[in-house]
Amino acid sequence: MTIPSQRVLIGVCGGIAAYKVCEVVSQLFQRGVEIRVILTNAAREFIQPLTFSTLSRHRAYTDADFWQPIYSRPLHIELGEWADLIVIAPLTANTLAKLAYGMADNLLTNTVLASPSPVLVAPAMNTDMWEQPTVQDNWQKLLRYNRYHAIDTASGLLACDRVGAGRMAEPGEIISYVESLLHTHGKRDYQGQRVLISAGGTREFLDPVRYIGNPSTGKMGLALAQAAQHRGASVTLISSSHLNFPLGVRGISVVSAEEMHSVMLRELPNQNVIIMSAAVADVKPRDFSPQKLPKHALGENLSLTSVPDIVADLAKHKQPQQILVGFAAQTGDILTPAREKLQKKQLDAIIANPIDQPDSGFQSDTNQAIFLDRQEFIQEIPQCSKLKMAHIIYDLLGKRFHRHSDRLP
């Protein structure tokens, strides 16, 4: 599934993490995004313009182009007006300081000042450099400007052999944020909102080896968490799948339905929006053996018992100003059972998605669905990436619940 054709300008600064940006450019181009690349002089010490021109199918610009009188209009003006979004990765301490104080002494910084577009920044530097008070002051100053969107640094082994903060975000996280900003155009319409999301398929163990489960990978819940965080929300993601929690998202890992039930109810009171996208088991083995059972001990019939109905209990305990959204993964007719679940569980809205259609539902990177709320508003969501679907869901929640109850801004 491709991102709708948009124009992204990528600024590459001087750091070893510049090699990661090659993957960003390549993947975005393959998704139909028009790319232009600017390299600072320091970036050219790490990677050549030819690499980016090959990956983007367009010449990559350097400061040498900035000073050449071969363009009909100043190059920084042309590029600044062309871009729908500017991405700067890796963002170095030097360029961070320039952006924080509105300085412009090269093609990249001049282009940023000449553009009204949102700017996504992904810093990368040595831990001691990143933690310097002056650098952190510049970072906080930059983030006070609504135009700038940030992917914070991760911790890990750095190129200098130091282990600590300062690693640039991985290409996949940058690409997801780009996809979000191309959809939202930089708006933070969920700023100040707290969003609680469940994800993945629970596992109900019979013994240390065997369990009752389902194929859910948690990708839809992950996309919902990313989209909400990119739109300014404070996000808590409760996952029963082996997910890497996104930077900036509070993650809590669980295994069973009972664990998810306990954590979701504990987290419920402080949330504005609750989205139950996890595929929770309906039953569990009645008994658990701490030792692996021999095959002959399993018998022909497995004794089962029910698990807590998480979404129903959330509905019982939620406050009127809170919005509770459920998911219904179905085969065949998806609308009728979703409508029944919406009413029976006292949900505000439900997302019905088919799991028997190609490239939809479990394990897929794409999805399709029907959005339905208690006012019988129905909206089909055509097949798209799960991140795109997450944004469409938030668009619909914002429109529907602002109009009916002012529960969202």
Cα separation, 365 vs 385, in Å, equals 6
Q: Which residues contact 168 (CB under 8 A, 6 or more apart)?
A: 15, 17, 20, 89, 90, 122, 123, 124, 153, 154
Q: How far is CA 246 from the centre of its chain?
A: 7
Catalytic pick from 13, 22, 160, 384? 160
Whether 22 is catalytic is no
* Strand order across the 34-39 sheet: 34-39, 7-12, 85-91, 119-123, 148-150
Q: Which residue has the tokens 């600044």?
A: 80
Closest CA to 123 of 92, 101, 97, 94: 92
Burial readout 249-268 (b: 16 or more C-beta within 10 A, e: otherwise): bebbebebbeebbebbeebb
* Cα distance between the two ends of the chain: 30
Q: Are 325 and 348 contacting, i.e. CB atoms less than 8 angstroms apart?
A: yes
CA distances from 85 to 90, 159, 246, 345 (A): 16, 29, 21, 41
Q: Which residues are catalytic?
A: 160
